[in-house]
Structure 1
Amino acid sequence: MRNHWYDNIKGVLVLFVVFGHLLTDVRGAYDDLLPNWIYLFLYTFHMPLFIMLSGYFFRENRYLRVIQLFVVYVIWQVILGSWFAFTEGIPLLSIDNPGLNVLKPYWALWYLMAIIIWYVITPYVTQLKGYVLYALLFALLFGFQAESTGFFALRKVVMFYPFFLIGNWMSARNTLNFFELPKRAEQRNRYRIGGAAVFTTITLGLLASMSFQKEDAFYHVGNLFKFRFAYETAVPEAMWSGPFAFLIVYTVSLLMAISFALIIPGRELPVFTRAGKYSLYVYLVHVFLVVGWKAFVPAAFMPTSWLQLLVLFGVAFVIVLLIISPPAVRLLRPLVEIDVRRVQDDRATKA
């Protein structure tokens, strides 16, 4: 039986993913800071929590899952990269078509590439004592690396990996099981109140600290939480302070992610529970729709930023509803839930 709490968390997060991608070009389209603040707020926790949940449900010896994810990745890399090339007028058979370069994940597909790599290496990494700390130390050191080719989404693979391992560590200790036990309703409520208090406090603290910064600080701090650049670009004024800045980022993201998860209800929420169940569908297909939206809709088509944000959130919600609708799921299932069990059957036959 599926756990509604985990599905609800993933459902809310995947909605934030769609909203965040719709919001990207809007940040510079208005003079006020509201779009920048919302964008920064989302990226402090939504991908770290998504990745922690992936680590929480990771199980070793799942080579079929790795094969399946790789096949899904290649298919959607070709489809989505070619769709981008089409919208930009790039010939589909051109070397400039990102869909033909499977070693360089197109846009949001970095996450799928990262999951594949993490699934392969994690059984070996977890053999180390204190593996989370080793991964964190390696990530902080990797920040000095100026690699920017995008091959294998290496920067994000390395820098986000500690969150995956934290989720795996929590799973090994059954840390997030309190929503599964109805007799502990009172304790669950205490967790919710505590989570709401921590989440609100950090959010207000972040908002207060950013209000004293220059306008372009939102852009730079947002990139810190997205792990986009090396230290020399992310903190050019003092590169050697990079590890300390990123350590703060890891701490804030971890606290925001866990406290946000505690706020989400554990009962079934029809839209979000279903969205969580089919979160991979939304993650893959929404890119197609967002690229189309950006190609044909101006970045600032509303007179005020707050109205634009409301409209974009509604658009994101509609996109999620369309993708998780039963007809869409049936149509997309052959491209998302690819059956690779024949690989196992062939191996058994040869044995």
Structure 2
Amino acid sequence: MRNYWYDNIKGVLVLLVVFGHLLTDVRGAYDDILPKWVYLFLYTFHMPLFIMLSGYFYRENRYLRVIQLFVVYVIWQVILGSWFAFTEGIPIFSLENPGLNLLKPYWALWYLMAIIFWYIITPYVTQLKGYVLYALLFALLFGFQAEATGYFALRKVIMFYPFFLIGNWMSERNTLNFFELPKRAEHRNRYRIGGAIVFTTLTLGLLVSMRVQQDDTFYHIGNLFKFRFAYDTAVPEAMWSGPFAFLIVYTVSLLMSISFALIIPGRQLPIFSRAGQYSLYVYLVHVFFVVAWKAFIPAGFMPTSWMQLLVLFGVAFVMVLVIISPPMVRLLRPLVEIDVKRVQNTKGVKG
């Protein structure tokens, strides 16, 4: 029996992923701070919570899952990278085609690469006492590493890993019982009210703090929450303050993630529950649609930024609906849910 609460959380988050990717170029198309703030707001919690849930559902000794994810990664790296090359007029069979460089995950595929690495190393990392703190310390130290080649999405793999381990730690100690909301309605409401208060307070605090900052501050703080750059780029005015800045980022993201999860209803919500069930489909395929959208639609085609945001949110919602529709799922299943075990059994029979 499926847990609709987790499905709903993943369904909402994957919608925000699509929306956030549609917003990437919009931030520079308008003079006001609204699209920049919305973009920053999304990145404070939507990927950390996604990763925490991945860690929560992680189980050891799943080597077949690792193989399956790697095969899926290779297939979609070639498809999506080549599609980008096609839209940009880059020869498909050239070194400039990002789809042919398997060592550098194309755009959103960094997450799939990260999951593969985390599945491989987590059984060893969790043998350490206090492994979450070790991972956090290593991530904070890695921020001083200025080299960023993009190979294996290494920076994101390391910097986001503490969230994965936090989810795993909560799962092992049954700490996430509060995530599965108590049976009694009054207790559920207390958690939801508490989550709403924390989430709203942090959101308002973020908004107020941004109101007194310069426009370019959005860019730097946004990169902090996305873990894109080393300290010398993310906090260029005071590189040695980087670990403290990132420690604040981890804290804010953790609180935002947990409080946001508590707000989501636990009953079945047809669209979001299905989107959560097929979140990997959406995560992979939406890149195809977003690349096409950016290739043919101007970044700012509405007169005001708030109208642009409404339109793009509607577009993101439609994209999700299309991807999770039964015909599309049936069409994509051979490319997403690759049955590695059946292939293995077939080889065993032939042998």
Does TM, scored on the shorter chain, surpass 0.5? Answer: yes
Q: Residues 184, 215 of structure 1: CA spacing in aligned structure 2 closer, same or farther, 3 A cutoff?
A: same
**Alpha-carbon distance in 1 for matches of 2:95, 2:71:** 21
2:117: which partner in 1? Answer: 117
1:68: which partner in 2? Answer: 68
Give the letter aligned to residue 163 of structure 1.
F
Q: Secondary structure at the match of 1:90?
A: coil
Give the letter aligned to residue 116 of structure 2.
I
**Alpha-carbon distance in 1 for matches of 2:314, 2:249:** 29
- Under a length normalisation based on structure 2, what TM-score does the superposition of the two structures give? 0.98
**Alpha-carbon distance in 2 for matches of 1:124, 1:342:** 28
Q: What is the Cα deviation at residue 343 of structure 1?
A: 5.2
**Alpha-carbon distance in 1 for matches of 2:20, 2:328:** 22
Gaps of 5+ in 1: none
**Alpha-carbon distance in 2 for matches of 1:127, 1:217:** 40
**Alpha-carbon distance in 2 for matches of 1:262, 1:64:** 32
2:29: which partner in 1? Answer: 29
1:326-345 Cα deviation digits (max 9, x unpaired): 00000000000001003543
**Alpha-carbon distance in 1 for matches of 2:349, 2:167:** 36
- Within-5 A mapping of 1:292-331: 292-331=292-331
Give the letter aligned to residue 130 of structure 2.
G
2:41: which partner in 1? Answer: 41
**Alpha-carbon distance in 1 for matches of 2:96, 2:242:** 33
- Within-5 A mapping of 1:1-351: 1-178=1-178, 180=180, 183-342=183-342, 344-345=344-345
Q: Residues 278, 174 of structure 1: CA spacing in aligned structure 2 closer, same or farther, 3 A cutoff?
A: same
Q: What is the Cα deviation at residue 187 of structure 1?
A: 1.5
**Alpha-carbon distance in 1 for matches of 2:140, 2:267:** 38
Gaps of 5+ in 2: none
Give the letter aligned to residue 155 of structure 2.
R
Q: Residues 244, 319 of structure 1: CA spacing in aligned structure 2 closer, same or farther, 3 A cutoff?
A: same
**Alpha-carbon distance in 1 for matches of 2:42, 2:181:** 30
Q: Residues 261, 222 of structure 1: CA spacing in aligned structure 2 closer, same or farther, 3 A cutoff?
A: same
Contact 1:235/1:242 (CA < 8 Å) preserved in 2? yes
**Alpha-carbon distance in 2 for matches of 1:182, 1:232:** 45
Q: Secondary structure at the match of 2:176?
A: coil
Q: What is the Cα deviation at residue 95 of structure 1?
A: 0.3
Q: Secondary structure at the match of 1:102?
A: coil
Contact 1:179/1:188 (CA < 8 Å) preserved in 2? no
**Alpha-carbon distance in 1 for matches of 2:46, 2:180:** 23
Contact 1:46/1:257 (CA < 8 Å) preserved in 2? yes
Contact 1:179/1:266 (CA < 8 Å) preserved in 2? no
**Alpha-carbon distance in 1 for matches of 2:347, 2:166:** 34
Q: Residues 168, 109 of structure 1: CA spacing in aligned structure 2 closer, same or farther, 3 A cutoff?
A: same
1:291-310 Cα deviation digits (max 9, x unpaired): 00000000010110000000
1:82-125 Cα deviation digits (max 9, x unpaired): 00000000000110000000010000000000000000000000
The count of corresponding residues between Structure 1 and Structure 2 is 351
Percent sequence identity is: 86
Give the letter aligned to residue 92 of structure 1.
I
Q: Secondary structure at the match of 1:224?
A: helix
Give the letter aligned to residue 67 of structure 1.
I
**Alpha-carbon distance in 1 for matches of 2:223, 2:120:** 27
Contact 2:40/2:218 (CA < 8 Å) preserved in 1? yes
Q: Secondary structure at the match of 1:218?
A: helix
Q: What is the Cα deviation at residue 143 of structure 1?
A: 0.1
Q: Secondary structure at the match of 1:284?
A: helix
Give the letter aligned to residue 222 of structure 2.
G
Q: Residues 32, 159 of structure 1: CA spacing in aligned structure 2 closer, same or farther, 3 A cutoff?
A: same
Q: Secondary structure at the match of 1:95?
A: coil
**Alpha-carbon distance in 1 for matches of 2:219, 2:2:** 39
Contact 1:4/1:268 (CA < 8 Å) preserved in 2? yes
**Alpha-carbon distance in 2 for matches of 1:331, 1:243:** 46
Q: What is the Cα deviation at residue 350 of structure 1?
A: 10
Q: Secondary structure at the match of 1:146?
A: coil
Q: Residues 179, 39 of structure 1: CA spacing in aligned structure 2 closer, same or farther, 3 A cutoff?
A: closer
**Alpha-carbon distance in 2 for matches of 1:180, 1:168:** 15
Once the two structures are overlaid, the 10-residue window that deviates more, 341-350 or 5-14, is 341-350
Contact 1:285/1:323 (CA < 8 Å) preserved in 2? yes
Give the letter aligned to residue 96 of structure 2.
D
Q: What is the Cα deviation at residue 174 of structure 1?
A: 1.5
Q: Pairwise CA RMSD of aligned residues?
A: 1.4
Q: What is the Cα deviation at residue 173 of structure 1?
A: 1.4
Contact 2:179/2:261 (CA < 8 Å) preserved in 1? no
**Alpha-carbon distance in 2 for matches of 1:8, 1:174:** 20
**Alpha-carbon distance in 2 for matches of 1:219, 1:194:** 31
Q: Residues 179, 167 of structure 1: CA spacing in aligned structure 2 closer, same or farther, 3 A cutoff?
A: closer
